[in-house]
């Protein structure tokens, strides 16, 4: 049991050296004017999470030059280091782990970094300690400052926890990390599936690859249908002949839907027979409804704000899946939701009018909604302005085919998401029991494998 494990403070398990515990550089020293296209990445709050298992978000990073990073040597975090947010969302914790994209990072002015003594503590074990419910509650309960919650270096040094022997730490980590690894694999698969759907939309409805392939084939005296089949499938002529008959016929039917010529429109040349439509003719953006945190009842219905899921409620506002669009705050953000949900008043949700929801979702990604802020004080997306945006609408048969392709991919994403949730629920159940010693590593490993 954990009562047999000694209680230690963070300052006692930090590595030797003056920079083992340190904050980021002063704000003006690492401001936006120093950001570059490449170099050493900077960890900001958006790269950390309060969610267990999201050790580091290696997306939307900013960089400083290698020379600039040398000025911040005390604030450089390397693999094995932990990173904490000290202002704002103070329960965020990150780990520069072995799968992190870069070997080292600079922490921003609102972050702190910790290098542990590897002879005393496994850094992944400490990451799970601070990701667990007990430490998360402790962090939030002891925040300093009223308007903006704070968590400083002095507080971090004094944080205490029960420390099992190193070999026990490592066995606990293996159980939890095996679940996180499976979760990460499924997330990456979903990213690939999402990219595939986006690539199909772009090829068909932005770049017009099948149409242009037909035009080029006609000019060169080749078979336009075969050319479009190659463009759609990414296969060479010889590979088409090797396809099973049913697959070949299905691909040919898909290629036959695309025109073999372009015509002028107000958006330039578009496939013949397709039309230019205003967004307001294709879909309706419906306002969400206010729902304060205090008014939410325990339940499993996701509540969406412009930044994504903000909590859960017992009753949906929208009884079916849809696309949520950021209206205030994170302008133009887009979220796909398969199940009933509750969008709050900082969002819209989409009701399709002249195209399937799948087409609406991927089309809206191309319209630059995130740049349509119409309010300087509080960023906002004006619905009437959005309705005036123009997009290219194909014929109904092509729309139906894209919906079939995209829906197949989205069903796979949904299935993987269910696996991710099941694994995450198991990990979150095992985590506090392992850290408290209530559950042995052997018992937890059996549950994880099952």
Domain boundaries, the chain: 2-163, 164-258+397-450, 277-393
Over its length of 450 residues, how does the chain's per-residue pLDDT go in tens digits? Answer: 566 899 999 999 999 988 999 998 987 788 888 999 999 999 988 888 877 777 888 888 999 999 999 999 999 999 999 999 988 888 889 999 888 889 999 999 889 999 999 999 999 999 999 998 889 999 888 888 767 888 888 999 999 999 999 999 999 999 999 999 999 999 999 999 999 999 999 999 999 999 999 999 999 999 999 999 999 999 999 999 999 999 999 999 999 999 999 999 999 999 999 999 999 999 999 999 999 989 999 999 999 999 899 899 999 999 999 999 999 988 999 999 999 999 999 999 999 999 999 999 999 999 999 999 876 666 799 999 999 999 999 999 999 999 999 999 999 999 999 999 999 999 999 998 998 888 888 888 887 777
What's the pLDDT score for residue 273?
Answer: 96
Query: What CATH number matches the domain at 277-393, 3.90.220.20, 3.40.50.720, 3.30.1330.20, 1.10.600.10?
Result: 3.90.220.20
CA 108, CA 112: separation in Å to the nearest integer? 8
The answer to whether domain 2-163 has CATH 3.90.220.20 is yes
User: Same fold for the domain at 2-163 and the one at 277-393?
Assistant: yes
What's the pLDDT score for residue 31?
Answer: 83
């Amino acid at each position: 049991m954990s009562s047999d494990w000694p209680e230690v403070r963070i300052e006692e398990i930090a590595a030797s050296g003056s920079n083992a515990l340190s904050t980021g550089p002063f704000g003006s020293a690492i401001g936006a004017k120093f950001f570059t296209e490449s170099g050493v990445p900077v960890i900001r709050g958006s790269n950390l999470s309060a969610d267990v298992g999201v050790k580091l978000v290696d997306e939307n990073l900013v960089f400083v030059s290698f020379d600039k990073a040398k000025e911040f040597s005390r604030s450089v975090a390397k693999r094995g280091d932990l990173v904490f947010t000290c202002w704002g969302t103070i329960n965020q914790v990150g780990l520069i782990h072995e799968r992190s994209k870069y070997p080292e990072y600079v922490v921003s002015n609102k972050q702190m970094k910790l290098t542990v003594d590897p002879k005393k503590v496994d850094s992944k074990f400490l990451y799970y300690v601070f990701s667990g419910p007990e430490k998360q509650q402790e962090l939030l309960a002891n925040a300093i400052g009223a308007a903006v919650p704070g968590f400083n270096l002095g507080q971090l040094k004094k944080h205490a926890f029960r420390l099992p022997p190193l070999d026990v730490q490592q066995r606990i980590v293996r159980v939890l990390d095996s679940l996180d690894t499976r979760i990460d694999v499924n997330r990456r698969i979903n990213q690939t599936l999402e990219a595939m759907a986006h690539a199909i939309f772009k090829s068909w409805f932005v770049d017009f690859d099948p149409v242009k392939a037909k035009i080029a084939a006609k000019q060169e005296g080749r078979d336009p249908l075969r050319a479009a089949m190659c463009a759609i499938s990414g296969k060479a002529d010889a590979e088409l002949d090797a396809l099973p008959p049913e697959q070949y016929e299905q691909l040919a039917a898909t290629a036959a839907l695309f025109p073999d010529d372009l015509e002028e429109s107000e958006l330039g040349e578009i496939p013949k027979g397709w039309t230019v439509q205003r967004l307001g003719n294709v879909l309706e953006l419906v306002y969400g409804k206010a729902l304060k945190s205090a008014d939410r009842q325990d339940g499993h219905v996701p509540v969406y704000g412009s930044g994504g899921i903000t909590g859960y409620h017992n009753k949906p506002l929208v009884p079916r899946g849809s696309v949520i669009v950021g209206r205030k705050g994170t302008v133009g953000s887009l979220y796909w939701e398969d199940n009933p949900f509750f969008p709050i008043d900082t969002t819209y949700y989409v009701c399709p009018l002249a195209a399937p929801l799948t087409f609406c979702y991927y089309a809206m990604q191309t319209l630059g909604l995130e740049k349509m802020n119409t309010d300087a004080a509080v960023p906002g997306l004006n619905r009437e302005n959005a309705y005036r945006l123009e997009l290219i609408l194909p014929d109904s048969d092509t729309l139906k085919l894209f919906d079939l392709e995209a829906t197949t991919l989205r069903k796979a994403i949904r299935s993987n998401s269910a696996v991710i949730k099941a694994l995450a629920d198991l990990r979150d159940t095992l985590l506090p029991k392992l850290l408290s010693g209530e559950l042995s590593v052997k018992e937890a490993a059996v549950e994880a494998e099952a």
